[in-house]
Amino acid sequence: MTMFSGKGLLAVEWTLIGIALILLIARLNLRIRYLRSGFVISDGFMIAAFVAAASLTSADTWLYHMKVYKPDVDFQMNHWDSSVEEKIQVYKHMGKTRTSLFALSTFCIIGFTTTVLMNLFYCRFGCYWYACFPSLEDAWGS
């Protein structure tokens, strides 16, 4: 099994961040300038997700410069040659990163579960997928 080097990992991550930034700017430009629909809450969530991804990529860049991404260093940072101060600094930073990842993961799981449950139980079971109704109002029984 081949592994990414630290430089390869950073190249892939920053390339994907760049593509995401281009798509985010294009969406906001289309929505605000051409559709004139203004800034909506989904735009805020997209910007928050982009900021989270960029911050995690910058954390990986920082860890790469701290020489954590060497081929012989495993996920527990065994065989990492550093001073005690550097290890304390990295472990403190990783604790904050782990906390923010837990919060974002919990938010995503709750949002996904809420969306699925609303699609299933908001109206009679399966009305969004039942093709015999000519309109959604007929499916709701009004």
Q: What is the pLDDT of residue 1?
A: 44
Neighbour-count burial for 99-127, b at 16+ CB within 10 Å, e otherwise: eeeeeeeeeeeeeeeeeeeeeeeeeeeeb
pTM confidence score? 0.64
Of 11-20, 43-52, 117-126, the range with the highest mean pLDDT is 11-20
Cα separation, 37 vs 27, in Å, equals: 12
Q: Which helix (H) or strand (E) holds 14?
A: helix 6-29
Contact 60, 53 (CB under 8 A): no
| Cβ-Cβ contacts under 8 Å for 109 (sequence gap 6 or more) | none
For 64-73, write each residue's pLDDT tens digit: 888 787 777 7
What would the mean pLDDT of 76-100 be, rounded to a whole number? Answer: 79
Domain ranges of the chain: 1-71, 82-142
3-state secondary structure of 130: coil
The shares of helix, strand and coil residues in the chain, as percent rounded to the nearest 5, are 70, 0, 30
In the chain, the amino acid numbered 1 is: M
Helices 41-65, 84-121: crossing angle, 10 deg rounding: 150
